Amino acid sequence: MQMPEKGRDWADVRQEMISRGGGDAQWRDGRTAVYVFNAGHDVEQVQQEAYTLYMAENGLGPMAFPSLAQMEKEVIGMGLGLLHGPEGATGAMTSGGTDSITMAMKTARDYARSKGKPREGHNVVLPQSAHLAFDKAAHLMDIEIRRVPLKTDGSYEADPAAMGEAVDEATVMMVGSAPNFPHGIIDPIEALGDVAARKGVWLHVDACVGGYFAPFARMNGVPVPAFDFEVPAVHSMSADLHKYGYCAKGASTVLFRSEELYNFMPFDMAGWSGAPMKTPTLAGTRPGGAISAAWGVMNTLGVEGYKRLQGQVCATREKIEEGVKRLGFEIVGNPMLGLMAFYHPDAHAFAVYGEIFRRGWFTSVTKEPPSLHLMLSPKHADVADAYLADLEASLAAVKAGADDPKVEARYS
């Protein structure tokens, strides 16, 4: 497309933009279980209005916009309050989980250097199920990633002993997830903490998808094990607001146990022609809307609102677990939050995925083991029965076609 010589009326452009969305996943109806978190119309309206109130303002200028600086500080305070941040813990908002993880890794690397670890040749030790954002960050910083196989007891948890064996003097970070994305399983953070403390290594907990879910699940009585700053060896955490925080996209938090650790994150520089600038995270310009929308959503929902929504998600997951088990599927590990993966002994998961996709469901898959993957939202309470009915039909269709060598070849 070339830029049009003459602009058109907004009404006309707006209409075209809306109709272009007609071919997208129609997630508001609840038939999407990946990419979006659907807490309903009221929360969406708060996101939109709270975002536009500060859409033009810039979090890069805390002196110009003390309102945003204060809102960010309070968002971080609320996050730390939920995640057992001790006195003196601090953090910053970033654009998303990948950004938070990148900043945590850079901070851990710089901290390790300050403690006399080698200047180069670093590595990070993580479970096979950890998010690929760690690999991306490591690629940027020329750090080696050491992925360690999970336990083989069917729990799909990180294996703390094996991870300990992968650590050496150039290890700048160990990682556990709460939960991991592929299976929705919370790693044994206390056991990882013991290993990290023994080896003198920074432990990061990636709670991107669980940080604003697990605390409320726990309040609702779900037996979530200790996974946050409650575990003394945890140095940093990533927790995304734009996932189960139900905030507008472009919002995550990166949190540190102390100011001393945090201080290895900001970039402070005066040696150029422009004014000296100190930025806490990767971003220069920081969208004010992402900050104000987060503050607005958190303050309208409150603990009560999040407890209600996360309770709804857990109840839906339990209902779907029961339903898929009735159809002969097996659940991967023991998920406790909003994510789950499951597979069928007699039908390839990717074939079932294809069938349910054709029936109008935008869901996802996990590769190890080949499984169907759901990331559930409050809205899914309304459609769980319809999903299970379509899953049953999809399974039957795959079984009926299982003798077809073309189908077999495609998925084996």
Ligand X SMILES: *Cc1c(COP(=O)(O)O)cnc(C)c1O
189 binds ligand X (CB under 6 A): no
CA-based nearest residue to 253, from 17, 38, 77: 77
> CB under 6 A: which stretch of 8-16, 147-155, 204-212, 260-268 binds ligand X?
204-212
| Residue least distant from ligand X (Cβ) | 97
Cβ neighbours of 181 (radius 10 Å): 23
Nearest to 258 by CA among 282, 280, 232: 232
- Cis bond before residue 179 (omega within 30° of 0): yes
Which member of 32, 38, 90, 98 binds ligand X (CB under 6 A)?
98
Q: How far is the CB of 104 from ligand X (least distance, A)?
A: 11
Q: How far is the CB of 375 from ligand X (least distance, A)?
A: 8
Burial class (CB in 10 A: 0-12, 13-18, 19+), 40: middle
Which residue, 117, 116, 113, 204, is CA-closest to 163? 204
Q: Quick one: 314 or 397, whose CB is closer to ligand X? A: 314
341 binds ligand X (CB under 6 A): no
CB of 84 to ligand X, least distance (A): 19
Which of 76, 105, 172, 208 touches ligand X (CB under 6 A)? 208
Q: Tell me if 157 contacts ligand X by CB under 6 A.
A: no
Piece of 140-148, 176-184, 288-296, 387-395 that binds ligand X (CB under 6 A): 176-184
- Nearest residue (CB) to ligand X, 244 versus 306: 244
Q: Does residue 373 touch ligand X according to CB under 6 A? A: no
181 binds ligand X (CB under 6 A): yes
- Of 59, 91, 97, 338, which lies in the binding site for ligand X, with binding defined by CB under 6 A? 97
CA dihedral 90, 293, 183, 83 (to 10 degrees): 30
Shortest Å, Cβ 370 to ligand X? 20
Instruction: Give 412: exposed, middle or buried? Use CB within 10 Å, 0-12, 13-18, 19+.
Output: exposed
The Cα–Cα gap between 192 and 171 comes to 14
Give the number of other Cβ atoms within 10 Å of residue 250's Cβ: 21
- Residue 292, exposed/middle/buried by CB under 10 A (0-12, 13-18, 19+)? buried
Dihedral pair phi/psi, residue 233, rounded to 5°: -80, -10
To ligand X, the closest distance from the beta carbon of 105 in angstroms equals: 12
Angle CA 88–205–304, to nearest 5: 70
Asked if 128 and 115 touch (Cβ cutoff 8 Å), the reply is no
Closest CB to ligand X among 57 and 240? 240
| 206 near ligand X, judged by CB under 6 A | yes
Nearer to ligand X, 241 or 391 (CB): 241
Q: Contacting ligand X (CB under 6 A), which of 30, 96, 211, 215?
A: 96
Determine, following the binding rule CB under 6 A, whether residue 356 of this chain makes contact with ligand X: no
The residue among 72 and 240 lying less far from ligand X, judged by its C-beta, is 240
Beta pairing partners, 365: 372
**In this chain, which stretch among 43-51, 203-211, 323-331, 399-407 interacts with ligand X, using CB under 6 A?**
203-211
Among 31, 106, 122, 131, binds ligand X (CB under 6 A): 131
In the bound state with ligand X, the residue whose beta carbon lies nearer, of 253 and 394, is 253
Task: Please give the Cα distance from 89 to 28 (Å, whole number).
Answer: 37
Q: Does 290 bind ligand X (CB under 6 A)?
A: no
Which string of x and - marks every residue 234-253 that binds ligand X (by CB under 6 A)? ------x-----------x-
| Rounded Cα distance, 131 and 299, in Å | 29
CA 225, CA 193: separation in Å to the nearest integer?
13
Can you give the binding site for ligand X, defined by CB under 6 A?
96-98, 131, 133, 177, 180-181, 206, 208-209, 240, 252
